[in-house]
């Protein structure tokens, strides 16, 4: 990828329409090899067919004799009390786009999905969005107050909070603006920018229901205001049923304490709901009987429909998926042959039941293998073998969750939602594999 | 904890014996409060009893008005392309002990278990053991050769390896010397040193069975030599049945590429087997019909029995467990009352079925709650409420795995294994909670 991409505005749409070039018909012809590859897939996985994926044990294929690390002692254990990735992985970092927000401080950085494996996002590259910069809080001076319609308003120190019973859960967290730049047709040139406002970590904390029980919620209470201690004072209205279901007041992220960008020392965590509601740097929870209609749930984080009216309180992150190999940052560099297409699927409503793969722009679909364990409201890694014939191919994936919901195409989504929205765009993407192996983000309409 | 502990030799044993002081009888009297707390546990978890864990919403309990992070924009998204923990967590790091190995380069560092939550170990603090320092390999110059009793000896580049089908699995990896300094009775003064040679990550790689199938294993092949590219050239004999079962050639660790300390760019990963066999910086796999009897499986990583003979090829990490709160580094600082004891259990043979907790040195046991998901050959987090009466208490936990194996006491283990060993010490530990809330590692014999 060209580094200039990082600050460039998105390309104008590269749409593929039936009857135009490439026509649906030539398109199907082109991917005939891909379809054949799919048919052969189970045999390949079980090892009955062997593509030439490696060279023979010929000395000419060996690296230079005795590279330095084989002959000289390496660095010692005391040099990295807290370790960092290899310098050869220095490009696996969060990135932002300068033109997306008015400010580089209160902005967004994106997870480098193309370079990641499995489902855990390492803390160092989790995307972040903040509205007043990233707060740098001294945990000894931090408090959480719970008040409003409760029998016993309480203030908790960190020591008090971590004394409660805790649970650990692996969940994704996604900004509802993920992919939102493309509602009207702009096309981002990196997977990092099309889908990088998501991460998936193991979160540890006390169930919010336990804290509410400690305070005693009064009859008639229906909503909770969650407020952050950052300079923006982000605050959102949380439905009581979510608060009593699986909401956490979390202090742990992938085994260690939350990163500052993720709300250190504590954040609210609402599995499956839009990320902005999982209020970071959490300092206050007010129990009430109606929502507060804060800035972030009126002028922002609402869905502007075609008729000019805005839908409010659309909290759920519906089923979504994306192919992470191949992708714009990870083109096919070894020519035609067998590859294993890999990607991620997720749903705010529960578990992923199935992920379908298409190499012909959505005409034919084949189920991919899901990597176990498949967890609720969590990224699910899928993989499927695919033989590339070296010609144009149009790769898609679609997620089906345990409720039976099927991830829609972009035309299907626009038919319902129009093109005014920024948030909750979970439509199917198309990666156009070019004959040279490069991969472009295109639209099929 | 006193920082001097890091370089101090271990204390001499503090053994508690029935009939001596504290006697078994006075001991039981002392923990009566603890037993009562256990009986009340389910009610506490469901919220029908409310200990005073937090102050009222009194302005006097609030932090100073308007701490700086509430009034001033924080740092920006571009400042940390690869993020780091909060400076307030600077003590959560790997540590080594100077006296344990002859060399600080080719040595051991320990995972800071007392400060971690959940089951995922963040890559930055995963324990490491290396015998020739940590190799710093250029992945473009690295190759994996598979040869010996195969039809097609092959050499793989990294691009070729990552083109194979891959899986991701969450597994622990433990050095068999974990706790080994205590076979003869020495007692380490930190949880980090008693159990810190373990970590648990999501590992991504190609099943070794797929690569072996690619090469075609000849009839009669029973063992595989795995060799690292580091200066020590660590090499171990791997049974063919393990290689064909769940062994991985791994390049991913918690979503990103392996850390250098973990064998970047590739390592062998043998779930549930002693860590030294999961050869890091893997460069060669030789297929044969018998083991190689390398240095690391003869003069090291064998179990010297009481009769002076050594058991070889004792690969399995049997069921084990430890309490992480309270522990020497995390004493009880808030006085008598309700706490939630937390800890970790694991077994190289599969899933943890149950973890029992005792507050009276093993006289009475109560099952703890296991945090879901409970995965095979993976850390399992457990938690149990316990009311401390402010007196001496002797906390223990014991793991039972899905095969029915029960973690032994130290006397039980010594009766079978003697005291000559270094490796595979998985006996029950006792944390002595002192009246002031401090926690000591003691032995009950």
Note the pLDDT tens digit of each residue in A354-386. Answer: 999 999 999 999 999 999 999 999 999 999 999
Q: Is residue A63 part of a domain?
A: no
Cα(A370)–Cα(A397) distance, integer angstroms = 13
What are the C-alpha distances in Å from A306 to residues A414, A415, A425, B33, B85? 9, 9, 15, 66, 44
**pLDDT given at position A23:** 34
Per-residue confidence (pLDDT) for residue A19, from 0 to 100 = 35
Coil/strand/helix, residue A330: strand
* In a shared domain, residues A434 and A341: yes
Domain closes at, from A280, A305, A330: A305
Instruction: Give the pLDDT score at B44.
Output: 29
> For residues B225 and B172, is the Cβ–Cβ distance under 8 A?
no
| pLDDT tens-digit map of A305-358 | 999 999 999 999 999 999 999 999 999 999 999 999 999 999 999 999 999 999
Q: Report whether A384 contacts A369 (CB < 8 A).
A: yes
pLDDT at A129 over 50: yes
The pair of structure tokens assigned to B111 is 């995972």
pLDDT band at B12 (very low <50, low <70, confident <90, very high): low
Could you give the residue ranges of the DSSP H alpha helices within A162-280? 191-195, 208-215, 240-245
- Tell the burial category of A45 from Cβ atoms under 10 Å away from its Cβ (0-12, 13-18, 19+): middle
* A259–chain B Cβ distance below 8 A for any pair: yes
pLDDT at residue B184 greater than cutoff 90: no
- Within-domain flag for B404: no
pLDDT bin (cut points 50, 70, 90) of residue A35 is very low
The chain-wide mean pLDDT, for chain A, equals: 88
In this structure, what is the dihedral angle of CA atoms A276, A279, A281, A283, given to the nearest 10 degrees?
150
Question: B-chain residues within 8 Å CB-CB of A107?
Answer: 76-77
Q: Do both A135 and A265 map to the same domain?
A: yes
Pair A289, A332 in one domain: no
Same domain flag for A295 and A321? no
Same domain assignment for residues A268 and A299: yes
- Overall domain count for chain A: 2
CB atoms B62 and A371 under 8 Å: no
Rounded to whole angstroms, the Cα distance separating B175 from B415 reads 23
Would you say residue B42 has pLDDT above 80?
Answer: no
B351-377 residue pLDDT tens = 999 999 999 999 999 999 999 999 999
Q: Which of B62, B116, B123 sits opposite A83 (nearest CB)?
A: B123
The answer to whether the CB atoms of B168 and A143 lie below 8 A apart is: no
Do A339 and A300 lie in a common domain?
Answer: no
Output the six-digit token pair for B145: 């050769």
At CB < 8 A and 24+ separation, what contacts does B47-52 make? Answer: B47/A210, B47/A213, B47/A214, B50/A213, B50/A214, B51/B337, B51/B338
Same domain, residue pair A244 and A364 = no
Task: Select the residue of B229, B339, B375 nearest A70 (Cβ to Cβ).
Answer: B229
Q: Scanning every residue of chain A, which has its alpha carbon at the shortest distance from the alpha carbon of B89?
A: A257
Point out the least confidently predicted range of A32-46, A91-105, A284-298, B126-140.
A32-46
In this complex, is the C-beta atom of A151 within 8 Å of any C-beta atom belonging to chain B?
A: no
Alpha helices in B31-165 (DSSP H): 32-39, 41-45, 68-71, 158-161
Is residue A144 domain-resident?
A: yes
How many residues in chain A?
Answer: 445
Here the tokens at position B391 are 């007196």
DSSP B21: S
Is residue B38 over pLDDT 90?
no
Nearest to residue A52, comparing CAs of B101, B156, B283, B91?
B156
Average pLDDT of chain B is 88
The C-alpha atoms of residue B181 and residue B184 are separated, in whole angstroms, by: 7
Domain presence at residue B276: yes
**Residue A310 lies inside a defined structural domain of this protein:** no
Q: Are residues A152 and A247 in the same domain?
A: yes
Above 0.95 for ipTM, yes or no? no
Q: Is residue B299 part of a domain?
A: yes
Which residues of A are less than 8 Å from B53 in CB distance? Answer: 156, 160, 163-164, 214
- Report d(CA A159, CA A264) in Å as an integer: 14
Tokens of A192: 């990092």
Q: Does B425 touch chain A (CB under 8 A)?
A: no
Q: What is the CATH number of the domain that holds A231?
A: 3.90.420.10
Q: Is A42 on the interface with B (CB under 8 A)?
A: no
Select from A250, A281, A305 the last residue of a domain.
Answer: A305
Cα dist. A400→A308, A357, A365, A396, A404 in Å?
30, 12, 13, 14, 6
Residue B145 lies in a domain: yes
Distances (CA, A) of B381 to A381, B145, B257, B322: 24, 39, 25, 10
Task: Calculate mean pLDDT across residues A58-62.
Answer: 54
Q: What is the pLDDT of residue B62?
A: 59
Please indicate, yes or no, whether residues A226 and A346 belong to a single structural domain of this protein.
no
| Spatial contact of A342 and A381, defined as CB atoms under 8 Å apart | yes
Q: Is residue A62 part of a domain?
A: no
* Residues A224 and A346 grouped into a single domain: no
| CATH number, residue A408 | 2.60.40.650
Buried b (16+ CB within 10 A) or exposed e, A370-405: bbebbbbbbbbbbbbbbbbbebbbbbbbbbbbeeeb
Q: What is the mean pLDDT of residues B116-137?
A: 96
CB contact under 8 A, B104 and A154: no
Q: Do A243 and A273 reside in the same domain of the chain?
A: yes
Domain that holds residue A405: 3-46+317-444
């Amino acid at each position: 990828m060209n580094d200039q991409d990082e600050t460039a505005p998105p390309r104008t749409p590269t749409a593929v329409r039936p009857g135009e070039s490439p026509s649906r018909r030539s398109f199907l012809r082109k991917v005939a090899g891909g379809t054949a590859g799919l048919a052969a897939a189970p045999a390949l996985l079980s090892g009955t067919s062997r593509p030439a994926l490696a060279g023979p044990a010929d000395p000419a294929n060996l690296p230079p004799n005795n590279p330095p690390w084989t002959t000289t002692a390496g660095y010692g254990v005391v040099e990295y009390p807290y370790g960092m990735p290899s310098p050869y992985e220095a490009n696996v970092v969060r990135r932002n786009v300068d033109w997306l927000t008015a400010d580089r401080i209160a902005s967004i950085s994106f997870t480098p999905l193309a370079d990641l494996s499995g489902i855990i996002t390492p803390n160092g590259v989790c995307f972040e969005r903040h509205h007043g910069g990233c707060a740098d809080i001294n945990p000894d001076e931090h408090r959480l107050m719970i008040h409003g319609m409760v029998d016993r308003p309480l203030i908790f120190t960190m020591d008090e909070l971590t004394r409660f019973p805790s649970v650990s859960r692996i969940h994704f967290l996604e900004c509802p603006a993920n992919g939102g730049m493309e509602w009207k047709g702009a096309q981002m040139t990196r997977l990092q920018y099309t889908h990088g406002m998501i991460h998936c970590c193991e979160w540890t904390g006390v169930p919010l229901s336990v804290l509410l029980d400690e305070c005693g919620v009064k009859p008639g209470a229906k909503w909770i205001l969650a407020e952050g201690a950052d300079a923006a004072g982000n605050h959102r209205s949380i439905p009581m049923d979510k608060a009593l279901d699986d909401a956490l007041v979390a202090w742990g992220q992938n085994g260690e304490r939350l990163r500052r960008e993720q709300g250190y020392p504590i954040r609210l965590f609402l599995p499956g709901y839009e990320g902005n509601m999982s209020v970071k740097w959490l300092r206050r929870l007010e129990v009430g009987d109606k929502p507060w209609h804060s800035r972030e749930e009126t002028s922002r984080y609402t869905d502007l429909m075609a008729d000019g009216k805005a839908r409010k309180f659309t909290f759920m992150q519906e089923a979504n998926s994306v192919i992470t190999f191949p992708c714009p940052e990870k083109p096919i560099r070894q020519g035609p042959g067998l590859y294993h297409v890999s990607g991620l699927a997720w749903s705010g409503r529960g578990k992923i039941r199935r992920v379908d793969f298409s190499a012909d722009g959505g005409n034919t679909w084949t189920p991919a293998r899901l990597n176990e364990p498949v967890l609720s409201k969590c990224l699910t890694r899928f993989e499927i073998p695919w033989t590339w014939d070296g010609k144009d191919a149009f790769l898609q994936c679609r997620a089906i969750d345990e409720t039976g919901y099927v991830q829609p195409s972009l035309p299907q989504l626009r038919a319902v939602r129009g093109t005014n929205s920024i948030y909750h765009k979970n439509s199917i993407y198309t990666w156009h594999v070019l004959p040279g192996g490069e991969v472009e983000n295109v639209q099929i309409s």
